[in-house]
């Protein structure tokens, strides 16, 4: 089911709220990156940077990001 217009893409999109606890294969990552290379950017500036983390480093980074988000977000009273 391929979106033909931006409206189609917006009306058929969905959000994932839960993720599996298993690594993404190199083949899937390669396919994602190949597709992402075609993403438009302002004046073809391509400002993105990519970092891939796995294992203990991923766990540490997730914890650090969660702690930062909790400190930056207003807390309910």
Answer for the pair 61, 53: CB distance below 8 angstroms, yes or no.
yes
Answer for the pair 3, 12: CB distance below 8 angstroms, yes or no.
yes
d(CA 21, CA 16): 14
Mark residue 25 as left, alpha or beta (left: phi above 0; alpha: psi -120 to 50; beta: remaining).
beta
- Write out the chain's pLDDT in tens, 77 residues: 677 888 888 888 888 778 788 888 999 999 988 888 888 888 888 787 888 888 899 899 999 999 998 888 676 66
Burial, 44: exposed, middle or buried (Cβ in 10 Å; 0-12, 13-18, 19+)?
exposed
Residue-level pLDDT at 38: 83
């Amino acid at each position: 089911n391929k979106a033909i217009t931006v409206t189609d893409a917006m009306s058929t999109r969905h959000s994932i709220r839960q993720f599996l606890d298993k690594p993404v294969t190199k083949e899937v990552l390669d396919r994602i990156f190949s597709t992402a290379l075609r993403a438009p950017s302002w004046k073809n500036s391509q400002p993105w940077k990519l970092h891939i983390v796995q294992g203990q480093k991923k766990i540490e980074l997730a914890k650090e990001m969660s702690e930062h988000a909790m400190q930056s977000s207003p807390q309910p009273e």
